[in-house]
Structures are given as structure tokens and as C-alpha cells.
Structure 1
Amino acid sequence: MDNYPPVAFYFQLSLTNTSGKEEVIFKEISGITMEMGIEEITEGGNNNFEHRIPTPLKYSNLVLKRGMASKDSEVVFWCRNTFNGNEGITIKTKNITVKLFDTDKKALKSWVFSNAWPVKWVVSELNSESKNIAIESLEFAYSSFQ
């Protein structure tokens, strides 16, 4: 099995803050992306050459999708309080950990998204002629990930 690439459907997500750790179930996680940009600087008098230098890292938002639950979880309360301004001026951040497992449930890789906070909450389209389940999508910004 070591010669095969890992499957992308065995994963676990947990949120950590000062009060402890909460494991949350999602059907899809995307946005595990870091990118280093390039700044191009033209040198005066030399029109045939540009200096290319790296810019600081940029991170995309982490997007989590799941079927809507009938009971709100701690992550939903956190999002709702942040969006409604109930947290006051200071936004409470949490660390989000994503672990990828192999088929034997052994952790292969983990990513920790530091100082994450909710920036977007979307409920899928509700359509009486559709047989789809209602999906909620939560989007988080974060300081960095390792």
C-alpha cells in the first residue's frame, strides 16, 4: 500500500481554542493553498531585463462543506457570534487541524491553520423540485498553516 498515493476521503477536522478541542464532520475541505507571488521591477535604462523578486506568502481561505445539521454545533455558534458582532471588537480565533488518513486509519499528514476566523457562511440553494440535501459552506481566513 505504501506505493499508492493516499485517498482524499479519509480525513478529520478539529477546532482548538482555549476551552479545548472539538471534532467536526465535513464532507469536503478545500483551499489548502499557499502561494508566493512575484514582483517584477524594471531597471532604469535597461529595457530588456526585469528583476523578479518574491513577495510574501498568500493563503487562500479554507472552505468547509457539510450537510446542514438540525442541531447547531459549536462551530456554528462561533460563526454566528462572529458575524453578529457578539464577540465584540476582538474576533475570537481558533486553530483548525486537518488530518489525512490512509485506509488503515493511520495519520499520513496533518495541517494546522493558525488563528482562523470565519469570513463567509453560505447555505445551498433551496429548491422544492430538487432531491439534493441542504449543504452549508463555511469559509475561514487564517494567519498561516504548517
Structure 2
Amino acid sequence: MAGDDPGTSVHFRLQIDGIDLGDWSGCDGLGCEVELEQYQEGGNNEFVWQLPSRLRYSNVTLTRPLTRDTAKVSSYLAQLPSGVRRGTAQIAALRPDLAMLVQWGLADVVLVRWSGPSFDPNRSEVASESIELAYHGFLEVGG
């Protein structure tokens, strides 16, 4: 089953409102969680009711070494002072041959943090950047 090979060297492509922000080497935090409220029913000591309450989405952080795509992020960041608006985002997981493994559509996306490289002459590390996004739901999950 050649088509069912799991992605072992995956990278991620990010678009926000149709603007391509390039390829990223790491993606962390994509997920959601159902918050539960506990209710102890009087007279029934055998268990506690676990009642689903609200759905919470964790922020997603993408990271990469500095590349030519960093200029795309700089252009996007330059537009933020004119007004932060919620948009949509697409995060696609790609194989090394650029074949898409899966794609997530995110609703009500806000860029909450960008972190640029740290330059320290005493440390020999790759200069990297990260971008953090908050969102309020999935639009679609596909592959």
C-alpha cells in the first residue's frame, strides 16, 4: 500500500485569508478540548456526573529557520497596525515531495504573537522564527 505511507518528514504550509506565509518546519498546539463541569447528585455517592460544557481551542504555534518566506511574514505583520481582524487559515501538512497529507481549516484566526530570531555570538544556532495563532474552530479537515 504505497499510498498509505505515513508522513515521516513533514513540513507545513500556512495561509491566512489566502495570503501565503510559506512553509514551516514545526507545528505545535493544534487541538481542542471539551471542558467538563462536575455535578455531585445528592444521595447518589456512586459517581459524579461529568457534564460537557464548552469547547476550547489551544493556540497553534508554527516554527521554522529563517528563509526567504520570512519576508512574507514581515509584509503580513506590517498590515497589522491598520487593524487586527479575525480571518481564516489553512495549515497543510506536506510530504517531502509536496504531496498533501492533510489540511486543517481554522475559523476566526487572530495572529497573537510573532517571535523573531535571537542573535547571540556566543551560541552557534540556526536563526529561527515562530508565529502563534488563536482560533475558534475548525472549518474543515481534509486529506
Q: What's the TM-score once normalised by structure 2's chain length?
A: 0.77
Equivalents in 2 of 1:77, 1:105: separation in Å? 25
Alignment RMSD: 2.6
Q: Which moved more, 1:48-57 or 1:103-112?
A: 103-112
Match status 1:117 vs 2:110: yes
Q: How many residues align?
A: 138
Residue number in structure 1 paired with 2:6: 5
CA drift of 1:132 comes to 0.7
Deviations 1:15-58 (A, max 9, x none): 22xxx432412221111111112211111233443111112221
Structure 2 SS opposite 1:76: helix
Residue number in structure 1 paired with 2:100: 107
8 A contact 1:15–1:24 mirrored in 2: no
Gapped runs of 5+ residues in structure 2? none
Counterpart code for 2:124: K
Residue number in structure 1 paired with 2:82: 87
Q: List, as ranges, runs of 4+ consecutive aligned residues in structure 1 with deviation greater than 4 Å.
A: 69-72
CA drift of 1:116 comes to 1.0
Residue number in structure 2 paired with 1:76: 74
2:25 to 24, 27, 30: 27
Match status 1:49 vs 2:47: yes
Gapped runs of 5+ residues in structure 1? none
Deviations 1:94-142 (A, max 9, x none): 3221122346543231101122111122234432111112211111101
Equivalents in 1 of 2:14, 2:99: separation in Å? 15
Counterpart code for 2:13: Q
Structure 2 SS opposite 1:79: helix
Residue number in structure 1 paired with 2:16: 15
Counterpart code for 2:102: K
Counterpart code for 2:131: L
